[in-house]
Structure 1
């Protein structure tokens, strides 16, 4: 749920105020249904839930109370929640939920470079500690007669993912340290072509159910 909440708050923050259908269409171009396990049909529900909890403000609705015609913007609480979730995803390593870091990558530009570097250094330490403890966890699995044999391979595939993430984190940290990409307080390193943003000036009808 935290990944879904971060993605919804983050995309609203980029385009606010924006209509539900536009936000849904944007998230689907990010393929969130594949890597974040977000059901496209649940995006409207997620937006309304965030509004109900005070994180989003519903600005207006079109005729017939169509969910795709409601426009949204972040509230003060929503802005705070966005940064809380972003920092949690960036600073915490969870081998069973790799989608959290992938979601964080979509919004790292809203943090300052020094914090991103510090967080990546923290992630490297956490991943190195997990690698150091892995042989002992594996030995425990092998010595426990109550644990099925296949559990060992489940553990090993998670360990392999951790090693891959550690290698990537080290290289990403080096690139950021050398000045790659743009972060908060810096001139943007990329702006969309005008043709890519014209659809945000329109209010399309939501797709027919």
Structure 2
């Protein structure tokens, strides 16, 4: 749920105030249904749930209270929750939940560069520690007569992912240190084409 919540709060924060249809279309352009396991049909429900919990404000509703015609913006509590979830995803390595870091990457620009560097260095340390522990975890499995030996491969595939992420994190940290990308308090490194932004805000015809 935290990945879904971060994505919903984050995309609202980028485009607020924005209609539910626009937010759904934007998230689907990120292909969240594949890497974050978000059911496209649940996006409206998620927005309404966040509003019910006081994290989003529903600004207006069209005729018939259609979820796609409701516009949203973050509340003060939603802003706090957004940064709490973003920092949790960035600072914490979770080997079996790569979707959380991938979601965080979508919103790193809302943090300052020095915090992003510090968090990446923390992730490097965590990943290095996980690599050090790997041989001992394997030895424990081999010495435990009640654990099937094929469980080793479950550890090894996780270790392979960790090592790949470690290599990427070191390189990404170096790019950030070298001045790549734009972060909070800095000039943006990218702005959308006005024509694209106008198209993005176009709502479909409601029909008869």
Normalised TM-score (structure 1):
0.96
Q: Does 1:110 align with 2:126?
A: no
CA distance in 1, matches of 2:205, 2:144: 59
Counting matched residue pairs gives 207
1:35 aligns with 2:24: no
State the match for 1:19 in structure 2. Answer: 19
Deviation, 1:187, is 0.4
Question: Which residue of structure 2 aligns with residue 58 of structure 1?
Answer: 58
**Partner residue, 1:6:** 6
Q: What are the Cα deviations for residues 103-123 of structure 1, in whole angstroms up to 9, with x where unaligned?
A: 000000000000000000000
Post-superposition shift, 1:199? 2.5
Other structure's SS at 1:59 match: strand
| Alpha-carbon distance in 1 for matches of 2:154, 2:38 | 24
* Distance of 1:206 and 1:106 partners within structure 2: 31
SS of the equivalent of 2:122 reads helix
What are the ranges of 5 or more consecutive residues in structure 2 without an aligned counterpart? none
Cα gap change, 1:206 to 1:112, in 2 (>3 Å): farther
Shift of 1:178: 0.3
Higher relative CO (Cα under 8 Å, sequence separation at least 6) belongs to 1
Structure 1 vs Structure 2 CA RMSD: 1.2
What does residue range 143-158 of structure 1 map to in structure 2 within 5 Å?
143-158=143-158
Distance 1:203 1:31 in 2: 20
Q: Provide the C-alpha distance between the structure 1 equivalents of 2:36 and 2:205, rounded to a whole number of angstroms.
A: 26
Q: Distance in 2 between matches of 1:194 and 1:84?
A: 31
1:149 to partner: Cα distance: 2.4
